[in-house]
Amino acid sequence: MLFSSISFLYYFLPVVLILYFLSPWKMKNIVLLVASLFFYFCGEPAYSVLMVTSIISGYLHGIWIDRARGSRYAKIPLVSSVIFSIGLLMFFKYTDFFITNINWIFKTNIPLAHILLPIGISFYTFQILSYTIDVYRGDARVQKSIIKFAAYVSLFPQLIAGPIVRYTTVEEELDQRTHSFADVAYGINRFIIGLAKKVMIANTLGELVEIFRDTGEKSVLFYWISAFAFMLQVYFDFSAYSDMAIGLGRIFGFHFLENFNYPFISKTLSEFWRRWHMSLGTWFRDYVYVPMGGNRVSTVKWIRNILVVWFLTGFWHGAQWNFIIWGLYFAVFLAFEKLFIKKLLERLPAFVSHLYMLFFITISFVIFNADGMSEVIENLKGMFGLLDVPLSNMITSYYIGSYSVVLIIAAIGATPLVSGLIKKAAASKKCERILNALEPVVHVTLLLFVTGYLIDGSFNPFLYFRF
């Protein structure tokens, strides 16, 4: 079930909201748990058992870790938790990747398993691991209630595409949280904004990317336009899901952390990754990078740490070599930035350093979007005029004209320009009253437009479902 679907918006969500707010406090987590399990079952009926198994494993490992605390065997339950969780993730996500590479290296002919990837397994696995590791470290109290723990892992607003919500972020709110009209209003508005970003911008940009992929009349300019369109599509698709997750969480009394902070205004690649998919970046920082020594080690070991973290980041995104190359690409450039050009970038005019960041981020998304390394090489050749294609052609001009409005809106929307103007206007009491009056009108209008798109449109899942 998709957030951007009629069945979710006008059937599932209203029923859940009614049941949740009519239920007494003791029943609210149960309502959320049942709703979340049903939500996942609608999309992944066969793999629902897998998610429940992961939940039970995380719950039991947490209790085991707590009971073993202080003993000489205290690490055993933690290691068991990591092996079990990562083992499931590796089996369901990477089996065919390993078989393919074994066949290639050893010239064998082992048949592929063709295991379907369970939706959201990368996200809920990391959430369970954050819980068991934090309980081991003493950063979180063990959760004795299976209902509360299961509700945390399966919470439908963020279950299948993040953000990765740490247990410590919602630990207290699982036990006691408040509800207010202000939070509900904020949550609804945030959800509608995210929904509009997904349906009206991300999906439209996705159309342009597919047109480029399917056309036989490519050009150098079209290669670049497609690269920019995909980069913006991923941003609006994933940030839209995060907006909707944060909005839904707020409605139910949970305060999820932000996942994006206008990454395209960055001046360095390091800054970009402090602003992009922040829940994943901080997860790898706190559970991989810092335990390995972080930057408090020698330069050689620091480079090792960067390579390991970014190898894992790339591999987390997908079981193909282009994702691994994508991760290592950032490892190399981030290390190069810090060791050699950090001071130079700080002295350069802002627009120059911004163009530097934008160029290399665009290249990274070309690597990210490709179906294997051969396609990466072909697309990069096309972008730099190394294929037998013209600089531009009539097809390119036609589609640039057709999609120019959404490209401009996306480019502006990826910056804090609009929100900054609204904040400045709200500083005036008169303007603030006007904005307060217009806000519900704008959001209702957006919802009506989105509904029209969904009725007439086709199925278009979130990109991060594949991860």
Domain membership of residue 95 as a residue range: 6-177
Instruction: Please write the tens of the pLDDT for every residue from 289-315.
Output: 999 999 999 999 999 999 999 999 999
Which pLDDT does position 405 carry in this prediction? 95
Which is nearest to 246 in space by CA: 195, 190, 164? 190
Single out the residue in 144, 177, 210 at which a domain terminates: 177
DSSP 4-25: TSHHIIIIIHHHHHHHHHHS-H
pTM assigned to the model? 0.93
> Looking at the structure, do residues 117 and 193 belong to the same domain, yes or no?
no
Single out the residue in 159, 177, 195 at which a domain terminates: 177
Which pLDDT does position 460 carry in this prediction? 60
> Looking at the structure, do residues 56 and 173 belong to the same domain, yes or no?
yes
Instruction: Please write the tens of the pLDDT for every residue from 389-424.
Output: 999 999 999 999 999 999 999 999 999 999 888 888
Give catalytic status of residue 317 as yes or no: yes
Identify the segments of the chain with pLDDT beneath 70: 457-467
> Looking at the structure, do residues 398 and 303 belong to the same domain, yes or no?
yes
372 in the Ramachandran plot: left (φ > 0), alpha (ψ -120 to 50) or beta? left
Q: How many residues does the chain have?
A: 467
Quote the CA–CA distance of 3 and 343 in Å, as a whole number: 44
> Looking at the structure, do residues 204 and 135 belong to the same domain, yes or no?
no
> Looking at the structure, do residues 265 and 132 belong to the same domain, yes or no?
no
For residue 290, is it within any domain?
Answer: yes
> Looking at the structure, do residues 90 and 108 belong to the same domain, yes or no?
yes
For residue 387, is it within any domain?
Answer: yes
Q: 287: which DSSP letter?
A: I
> Looking at the structure, do residues 166 and 208 belong to the same domain, yes or no?
no
Which is nearest to 435 in space by CA: 448, 418, 450? 418
Which pLDDT does position 458 carry in this prediction? 56
Which pLDDT does position 466 carry in this prediction? 54
> Looking at the structure, do residues 172 and 222 belong to the same domain, yes or no?
no
Q: How many structural domains are present in the chain?
A: 2
Which pLDDT does position 431 carry in this prediction? 85
Which pLDDT does position 457 carry in this prediction? 66
Question: 297-313: string of b/e by CB count within 10 Å (b at 16+)?
Answer: eeeeebbebbeebbbeb
> Looking at the structure, do residues 122 and 244 belong to the same domain, yes or no?
no
How do the residues of the chain divide into helix, strand and coil, expressed in percent and rounded to 5?
Answer: 75, 0, 25
Which pLDDT does position 461 carry in this prediction? 60
For residue 1, is it within any domain?
Answer: no
> Looking at the structure, do residues 223 and 251 belong to the same domain, yes or no?
yes
> Looking at the structure, do residues 338 and 276 belong to the same domain, yes or no?
yes
Quote the CA–CA distance of 133 and 49 in Å, as a whole number: 24
> Looking at the structure, do residues 240 and 126 belong to the same domain, yes or no?
no
Single out the residue in 177, 207, 231 at which a domain terminates: 177
Which pLDDT does position 162 carry in this prediction? 73
Q: 416: which DSSP letter?
A: S
Q: 258: which DSSP letter?
A: P
The active-site residue out of 61, 277, 317, 443 is 317
